[in-house]
Amino acid sequence: MKIVIAPDSFKESLDAGSVAECIEKGFREVFPDADYVTLPLADGGEGTVDVLLQGLAGKKRVTQVEGPLGELVNAEWAMLEPSTRISKKTALIEIAAASGLDLLTPEQRDPLVASSYGTGQLILEAMQQGAQMIILGLGGSATNDGGAGIVQALGGKLLNSEGQEISRGGAALSELASIDLADIDSRCTDIELIVACDVDNPLCGDKGASHIFGPQKGATPEQASMLDNALAHFAQVSESQGCVKGEQSVYERTGYGAAGGTPMGLSVLFNMQIKPGIEMVLDVLQADEILNGADLVITGEGQMDNQTLQGKTPYGIAKRASLQGIPAIGIAGSLGTQVEALYGEMTSLFGTVRSPQPLEQVLQEAELNLTRTARNIASTLKLGHAILK
């Protein structure tokens, strides 16, 4: 029996590799002789660099940059040399490494002032190190600045009506009057930028960056409305000055709500491609070949809910498994709203939290609870097989 274990991380507790190890440990208690293949995954958020380095030859690097609130952080990224699978010298960067929510305590979260400037510094460093292509993962950001910080880090000037540069952060975009791109780094024109994101939300509106993702970054409903208006203003100024690359209005572009609207600022600088993060990762890791001949796929993430359907890891790998007629089981720390829709791709879903507990305890017991849940699932499968004999 071949079992492919292909989860994402459980945020704030276990990385994807650790999740896969726990699931395999639990299953081995019941099926010790099965053929286990672990395939830790990510969908553009935290851990994407590590996951891609499983299948690509490259080296990690560390660069000191500004964090979301201007503090100095040591951000990891990676550089891949040209190979048979990647034809260009390619940098792997996560916005979470420099501008991520996990870099802040809950009390520090403030999307009104958080900036993507540090991510721009990483992009600049990658270009200085000779990168010809950049794969940028957009999950896990603390920002809602529309990528304005990236524009500023790469030489763009965002000016108010008095010709002064506006402050960093999402709220300051409401003061934007003009954009000066005269000093933008010339290498931006030649870079092939692939943006990996796990959502298809638009830039603005009820389903846009500010209203859907702003609250988890610390925004109140009133602040979310303020930030939504500021992003719309940034887009209006950018389009009216002809700064945005591409013919379609940014308001109509799928995925522009990712990472606090970061694709908005990127579209000012680069000719970029936006790809679903999980699809890009699965293709790079040749997941279809790994799935071939499998009897079962087990996937998971920290919480499964209606957002899982919007291009998250469990949904992506389950769809690939379904195309080969392989059943998939999902394991999550918790099951949120509207998970019933996931049953179209997964046969069953399981939460690992054993009882109502404080979050701190849940995180501390994540490994134990996950292993126990995996073991119980395996036992149930074995019992079902025995009953049906």
As a whole number, the mean pLDDT across the chain is: 91
CB atoms within 10 A of CB 362: 20
Residue after which a domain boundary falls, among 278, 303, 333: 278
Q: What is the per-residue pLDDT for 364?
A: 74
Question: Which amino acid, 193?
Answer: L
In terms of domains, do 217 and 80 share one? yes
Residue after which a domain boundary falls, among 220, 244, 278: 278
| Mean pLDDT of the 347-358 span | 80
- The residues, ordered by sequence, that sit 6+ positions from 160 with a Cβ below 8 Å of its Cβ are 166, 175, 176, 177
Q: What is the per-residue pLDDT for 355?
A: 62
- Give percent of the chain above pLDDT 70: 98
Q: What is the per-residue pLDDT for 67?
A: 98
Q: What is the per-residue pLDDT for 149?
A: 98
Q: What is the per-residue pLDDT for 325?
A: 95
- What's the pLDDT band for 261 if we cut at 50, 70, 90? very high
Name the residue with higher pLDDT: 84 or 63.
Answer: 63
Q: What is the per-residue pLDDT for 356?
A: 66
Residue 363 has pLDDT above 80, yes or no: no
Q: What is the per-residue pLDDT for 203?
A: 96
Q: What is the per-residue pLDDT for 362?
A: 66
d(CA 15, CA 21): 10
The answer to whether position 383 is within a domain reads yes
| Mean pLDDT of the 216-232 span | 96
In terms of domains, do 341 and 273 share one? no
d(CA 76, CA 44): 15
Residue 85 has pLDDT above 80, yes or no: no
Q: What is the per-residue pLDDT for 352?
A: 87
d(CA 13, CA 18): 9
| Mean pLDDT of the 222-240 span | 96
Q: What is the per-residue pLDDT for 323?
A: 95
Through-space distance between the first and last CA atoms of the chain, rounded to whole angstroms: 17
In terms of domains, do 32 and 52 share one? no
Q: Is the dihedral of CA 305, 307, 311, 313 positive or negative?
A: negative
Instruction: Give me the CATH number covering residue 262.
Output: 3.90.1510.10
Domain that holds residue 209: 48-278
Residue 86 has pLDDT above 90, yes or no: no
What is the tally of structural domains in the chain?
2
| Mean pLDDT of the 37-59 span | 87
| Mean pLDDT of the 293-309 span | 88
- What's the pLDDT band for 284 if we cut at 50, 70, 90? confident
pTM (whole model) above 0.95: no
Q: For residue range 373-387, what is the model confidence (pLDDT) as tens digits? A: 999 999 999 998 888
In terms of domains, do 34 and 80 share one? no
Q: What is the per-residue pLDDT for 302?
A: 87
Least confident of 48-62, 139-153, 283-297: 48-62
Residue after which a domain boundary falls, among 246, 278, 310: 278
d(CA 253, CA 76): 30
| Mean pLDDT of the 319-343 span | 89
The answer to whether position 283 is within a domain reads no
| Mean pLDDT of the 66-89 span | 91
Kindly give the interhelix angle for 262-269 and 221-240, rounded to the nearest 10 degrees. 20
In terms of domains, do 338 and 254 share one? no
In terms of domains, do 125 and 150 share one? yes
Residue 95 has pLDDT above 90, yes or no: yes
| Mean pLDDT of the 215-232 span | 96
Q: What is the per-residue pLDDT for 221?
A: 96
Name the residue with higher pLDDT: 281 or 227.
Answer: 227
In terms of domains, do 52 and 35 share one? no
In terms of domains, do 151 and 261 share one? yes
- The residues, ordered by sequence, that sit 6+ positions from 380 with a Cβ below 8 Å of its Cβ are none
